[in-house]
Amino acid sequence: MASAVPVVAVRGSTGISVNQGPPSYELVSAFKRDDSKNCRCMLFSPHGEYFAWANGININIVATKTWTPLASIPSPKTYCIQFSPRGTYLMTWQPFIVSNANPQGGPNMFIYKSDTGDLVASFVHKKQTDWEPQWSADESLCLHTVNHEVVCYAATQLDKPAHRLTGQKVVSVSLSSGNPPFHLLCYVPGKPGQPSFIKLYQYPKFDTPVASKTFFQSDKVEMWWNKKGTGALVMASMEVDKTGSSYYGKQSLHFVSVKGDTAMVLLGKEGPIYAVSWSPLGTEFCVVYGFMPAKATLYNLKCEAVFNLGSGSRNSIYYNPHGNILLLGGFGNLSGQIEVWDTTSRKLISKLESPDTTLLHWSPDGEHFMTATTAPRLRMGNGFKIWHYSGALLYERPWNKQEELWEVLWQNFPTGVFRTPAITSKPVEGIQPSQPTASKQAYRPPSARGKEINFKLHDDEDVPTLVSETASNPSKAALKLKKKREAKKAARQQAAELGEVTNNSNGVPPIHKPSILSEEVHTDDPEKLKKIKKLKSKLLEISRLKEQKANGKALEINQVEKLKKEDQLIKELQELCL
């Protein structure tokens, strides 16, 4: 097993190097630095025993215990690499190419043994999106999509499919984590005028889905399984909101259980969904949503809101590997504010700022995290920093203007190597950042300077609160149900009025309604019946206005004009009823 001190791999325009993590940060001399300027990708295996990278010539694999080279596979066109869950296999992808000599093209996705570099299988996968084959946690099952079909392989026979899910035109699929039985969550987009749907199957029973969910407004979906593989969150998205209410399109969040249950996650604020993340403990999940300042809420497995983390400038969620610390960040077009929360006591631990952050990773020890500014997203101010969860900056490594930083990775470790950190509010001693901190004072125009401030800058921000599990969420769905209840109530009230029943709690005498409203009319003329129905509706409206006036409500000008027409309408109705 690898060292109990996590190392940090750094990839940039000057090649790939490896440094020790806290507290030494020294260069790992046993790793032979790769000085190639074409290192396109690098990756640690899930348990950290292997480190692999592609440098435009070879795919190199080393053992992290001694940093001894294990394999060097000639592959100048490799752009992406991925390990299987236990690190047994290394998968690679390169662009699909056709030529005059080979008009049909050839395999561009390969699977190798990690410890030897031996080729195990090869496939054709033309698109770079979703190219990675998906593996079960025990590596007994491997699957990937080919021409809208899900092809399933046993790990011992990657050259021959064991099962296929056909006839569904599956665009994307997600294999459950955890132990068997395994489940497949499949997304099938709808045709114009027809809904898209999600179907959950238990492998290999593809005849009947365990659960199904339809969406009328979705261009794509994202799917996240919890650690135990008992449930998944599905976010359906539309690139363009046809109502024009949101620049970010439209999203909805749903929950699907392997027991066949489905539910919609009701959000407490209108606006886009920025981030969704399961806790590593698998008992709750966090959602950041709503127009800025965005709201963050924790939900239980019943999709009930249990804690409101307040609102602020945030669009990202990062749980530490132990699940006892939650980090909320506001990156991209936001200022880089970071909040660190204790998920057990529901308390804020620290606040800090890391402007221009393009990536953030937790250390496997659960106490430290790293922020970095990388190219090509940002070519100025490249570098990375290592922080303690208490907010202390422990290490900073800036890049010079002639070099670019592309990626920084922590080494992975198996579960159980590091103990769950005991959270303390006592600050850890750190260092001062090399770059000066921007002023936090809000801008005030010259006309307002020197005067008393009578407003708050963040009046629209919520404060963290414990949410009652029986409390309703003022979301669009909840408001829609409320409108339906009010419509039914109004219908019952109208029926009571037709029966000459008036509920009046103010002691005001009931308004007399013309007796002709309750008389039945027998006629075979449909046009005549239509006119009678229209006149009765107008007279009922006048009766309600008269009652409102008697209760002291001031009527509008157009409503007063309606009252003046009552006698004329009664006369017309009497003539039709003769």
Q: What is the pLDDT of residues 274-323, one digit of tens each?
A: 999 999 998 899 999 998 899 999 999 988 899 999 899 999 999 999 99
Per-residue pLDDT at 24 exceeds 90: no
- Pairwise CA distance, residues 247 & 380, whole Å: 28
- Pairwise CA distance, residues 279 & 321, whole Å: 9
pLDDT at residue 463 in the model: 66
Helix (H) or strand (E) holding 567: helix 566-577
Per-residue pLDDT at 27 exceeds 80: yes
Side chain identity, residue 43: L
The mean per-residue pLDDT over the stretch 139-157 comes to: 88
- Pairwise CA distance, residues 384 & 407, whole Å: 9
Q: How confident is the model at residue 171 (pLDDT cuts 50, 70, 90)?
A: confident
Side chain identity, residue 504: N
Mean pLDDT over all residues of the chain? Answer: 84
Please tell me which of 62-71, 125-134, 426-435, 452-461 the model is most confident about, judged by mean pLDDT: 62-71
pLDDT at residue 54 in the model: 94
Which strand ranges, in their side-by-side order, compose the sheet holding 405-410? 15-20, 7-12, 405-410
Which residues, in sequence order, are CB contacts of 167 under 8 Å at separation 6+? none
pLDDT at residue 282 in the model: 87
- Pairwise CA distance, residues 62 & 55, whole Å: 14
Asked if 116 and 152 touch (Cβ cutoff 8 Å), the reply is no
The mean per-residue pLDDT over the stretch 246-255 comes to: 78
- Pairwise CA distance, residues 460 & 177, whole Å: 39
pLDDT at residue 241 in the model: 61
Q: How confident is the model at residue 505 (pLDDT cuts 50, 70, 90)?
A: very low
Question: The tokens of 172 are what?
Answer: 């994307």
DSSP 446: G
- Pairwise CA distance, residues 177 & 167, whole Å: 25
- Pairwise CA distance, residues 110 & 144, whole Å: 13
Distance of CA 492 to the CA centre of its chain: 42
Using a 10 angstrom Cβ sphere, with 0-12 exposed, 13-18 middle and 19 or more buried, the burial of residue 126 is: exposed
Q: What is the dihedral of CA 426, 431, 436, 440, to 10 degrees?
A: 0
557-564 vs 566-577: helix crossing angle, rounded to 10: 40
Query: What percent of the chain is predicted at pLDDT more than 90?
Result: 42
- Pairwise CA distance, residues 87 & 525, whole Å: 82
Q: How confident is the model at residue 206 (pLDDT cuts 50, 70, 90)?
A: confident
